[in-house]
């Protein structure tokens, strides 16, 4: 009602009343004044009915408008804005949150996150390269496994910088060395390259001489001929033994040479026990594969070694009773037991053998005379401690097929021309047990 209503004639709203702010629609970013129903509108003037709110206020950098801005009246920084983490300086070992521009506050707890910088990793691990910018403070988050302690396989070595290399596999942590490289035939590892990086012939290998050089002439049944370039197996001319060697090394299947009188012969499957002693005019060289060797143990005692199977330079006879190492290599060990018998009561003879080694998968084969019966019935054979070949004749094959044995009659003359010296009989008298 108008203030001077008592002096105004009339009975209609237009004459008697004034519009108030109660139903006034304030523009965006403004709200009705608290006493809107008592305030009259003058020509739609918003300022009479409305007050500005913080919703329309623009805060300076580093601050944001309060969440309830649309209900707060005001238009100044102090009323409308809150400080954010933007611009806060975190101490060493911490970084600002990624959303610092929208997080309100200005202290370390609110604004900062701890990083891996300063975390101590366990032995064999290293701090992440991005530790200063990576949030977290535990081993799983902050550390990476290094090559330190990684066991490289045979033929490889750990990198010198392993402690600083992240990884735990041979490709990352190891390098190939010449120790694991297999040189081709006719070559051998250089003496100084066991720990040297490399996996090729040029780096790791050098030409080698023969594995063996024997004063033997290995013709006929003692070896299989291998035709060399330009020949038919009957030899080719060669100006030197080195040239002959090269011919063999360049020929598939050639394992050895016989060289003499300017001629070169390729050979394989050399059997030294069947070669003939040479007067020096011919030499046999074993180049790529060890020959088949034969040694003879017989009599009271007579030992013909692998390099003297024909007894051309005498034999070993001075063995007292006892146990002896007969063969000792990386892959095979043979022990012999020498004792007295009725035939040779004052001179020892071989009465037992024990054979083992990696070539036999470290299993053991044994033969031994135990008596009391004389002859073959007094001998016993065993495989890994279990009796075998207990009947005559008899056959044995190990479960893995590694060893096969036969107990039977043989002709000693087929073994060696002096074999009957041990078990009796005359040459040509036939088989014996």
Res. 216: pLDDT tops 80:
yes
Which two three-digit tokens encode residue 429?
Answer: 């008298």
Is residue 232 within 8 Å of 211, Cβ to Cβ? no
Res. 115: pLDDT tops 90:
yes
At 6 the pLDDT is 72
Q: Give the C-alpha separation, 197 to 27, whole Å.
A: 81
Predicted confidence band of residue 238 (pLDDT cuts 50, 70, 90): very high
Q: Give the C-alpha separation, 366 to 355, whole Å.
A: 6
Predicted confidence band of residue 349 (pLDDT cuts 50, 70, 90): confident
Q: Give the C-alpha separation, 387 to 368, whole Å.
A: 11
Predicted confidence band of residue 186 (pLDDT cuts 50, 70, 90): low
At 258 the pLDDT is 96
Q: Is the dihedral of CA 76, 77, 78, 80 positive or negative?
A: positive
Which of these, 105, 58, 59, lies nearest to 86 by C-alpha position?
105
At 224 the pLDDT is 95
Q: Give the C-alpha separation, 396 to 404, whole Å.
A: 6
Predicted confidence band of residue 356 (pLDDT cuts 50, 70, 90): very high
Which two three-digit tokens encode residue 232?
Answer: 């038919």
At 185 the pLDDT is 65
Is residue 176 within 8 Å of 156, Cβ to Cβ? yes
For the chain, what percent of residues have pLDDT higher than 90?
37
Q: Which residue has the tokens 């021309």?
A: 417
Stretch (H or E) spanning 67: none
Q: Give the C-alpha separation, 287 to 299, whole Å.
A: 35
At 237 the pLDDT is 94
At 40 the pLDDT is 77
Q: Give the C-alpha separation, 228 to 251, whole Å.
A: 6
pTM over 0.95: no
Q: Give the C-alpha separation, 23 to 222, whole Å.
A: 126
The upper half-sphere exposure of residue 194, i.e. CA atoms within 13 Å in the direction of its Cβ, equals 1
Predicted confidence band of residue 270 (pLDDT cuts 50, 70, 90): very high
Is residue 292 within 8 Å of 301, Cβ to Cβ? no
Is residue 184 within 8 Å of 201, Cβ to Cβ? yes
Res. 417: pLDDT tops 70:
no
Average pLDDT, the chain: 87
Tell how strand 30-32 and strand 404-407 pair up.
unpaired
Q: Give the C-alpha separation, 261 to 138, whole Å.
A: 80
Predicted confidence band of residue 253 (pLDDT cuts 50, 70, 90): very high
At 429 the pLDDT is 86
Is residue 107 within 8 Å of 100, Cβ to Cβ? no
């Amino acid at each position: 009602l108008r203030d001077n209503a008592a002096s105004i004639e009339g009975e209609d709203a237009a004459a008697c009343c004034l519009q108030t702010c109660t139903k006034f629609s304030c523009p965006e970013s403004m709200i009705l004044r608290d006493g809107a129903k008592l305030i009259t509108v003058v020509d739609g003037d918003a300022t009479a009915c409305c007050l500005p709110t913080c919703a329309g206020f623009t805060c300076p950098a580093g601050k944001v408008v309060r969440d309830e801005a649309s209900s707060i009246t005001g238009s100044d920084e102090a009323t409308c804005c809150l400080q954010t983490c933007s611009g806060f300086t975190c101490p060493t070992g911490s970084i600002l949150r990624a959303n610092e521009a929208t997080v309100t506050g200005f202290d370390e707890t609110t604004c900062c996150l701890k990083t891996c910088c300063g975390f101590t990793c366990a032995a064999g691990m290293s701090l992440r390269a991005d530790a200063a910018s990576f949030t977290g403070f535990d081993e799983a988050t902050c550390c990476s496994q290094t090559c330190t302690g990684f066991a490289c396989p045979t033929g490889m070595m750990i990198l010198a910088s392993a402690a600083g290399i992240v990884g735990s596999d041979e490709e990352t942590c190891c390098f190939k060395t010449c120790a694991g490289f297999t040189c081709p035939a006719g070559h051998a590892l250089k003496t100084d390259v066991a720990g040297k990086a490399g996996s090729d012939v040029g780096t790791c290998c050098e030409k080698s001489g023969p594995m063996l050089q024997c004063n033997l002439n290995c013709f006929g049944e003692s070896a299989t001929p291998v035709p060399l370039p330009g020949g038919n197996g009957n030899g080719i001319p060669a100006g030197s033994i080195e040239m002959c060697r090269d011919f063999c090394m360049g020929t598939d299947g050639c394992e050895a040479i016989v060289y003499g009188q300017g001629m070169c012969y390729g050979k394989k499957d050399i059997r030294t026990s069947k070669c003939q002693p040479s007067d020096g005019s011919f030499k046999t060289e074993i180049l790529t594969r060890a020959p088949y060797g034969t040694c003879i143990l017989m009599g009271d005692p007579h030992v013909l070694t692998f390099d003297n199977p024909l007894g051309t330079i005498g034999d070993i006879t001075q063995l007292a009773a006892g146990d002896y190492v007969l063969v000792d290599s990386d892959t095979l060990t043979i022990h012999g037991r020498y004792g007295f018998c009725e035939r040779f009561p004052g001179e020892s003879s071989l009465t037992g053998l024990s054979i083992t080694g990696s070539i036999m998968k470290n299993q053991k084969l044994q033969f031994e005379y135990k008596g009391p019966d004389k002859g073959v019935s007094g001998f016993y054979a065993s495989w890994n401690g279990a009796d075998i070949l207990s009947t005559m004749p008899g056959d044995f094959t190990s479960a893995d097929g590694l060893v096969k044995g036969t107990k039977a009659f043989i002709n000693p003359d087929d073994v060696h021309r002096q074999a009957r010296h041990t078990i009796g009989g005359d040459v040509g008298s036939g088989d014996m047990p």
